[in-house]
Structures are given as structure tokens and as C-alpha cells.
Amino acid sequence: MGAIHEAQDAIPLMPSAKDAMNGPGFEENLAITDVILGENRLAISTLSQLLQMLYTAFYYY
């Protein structure tokens, strides 16, 4: 299983709808993984969703 699939599989474990504080971090990880692997369209789609949420970004502490 590839990195993108692993990141996608992690999202349902802690969905943003149930854990608004930590859930978006999994989606953020997916977007970063997408960028690293050159899947920019997927990353933009994920980031567009994240921009609609209020949460504390994990990577900016």
C-alpha cells in the first residue's frame, strides 16, 4: 500500500466531524503527502476543504 493510501486510511480513524481539534491534522498530512508525491491537484482539493475549517494547524507550532 502506498503512502497516499496510508494517509487516506488514517482520516476515518479520527474524522474532523468528530474531533475538530485533531482530526484535520490527518487531512493536513494527506495534503503534504500528496505534494511530496507530485499529486498537486489532490493536495489542492484537500487544502481547499481545510481552509473552510477552524482548527490549529499541526505543523505551525
- Tell me which H or E stretch contains 5: helix 3-10
pTM for this model (two decimals): 0.79
d(CA 18, CA 6): 20
Determine the pLDDT at residue 15. Answer: 84
Mean pLDDT by 10 residues, the chain (61 residues): 84 85 87 94 94 75 49
Is there a contact between 30 and 23 (Cβ–Cβ < 8 Å)?
no
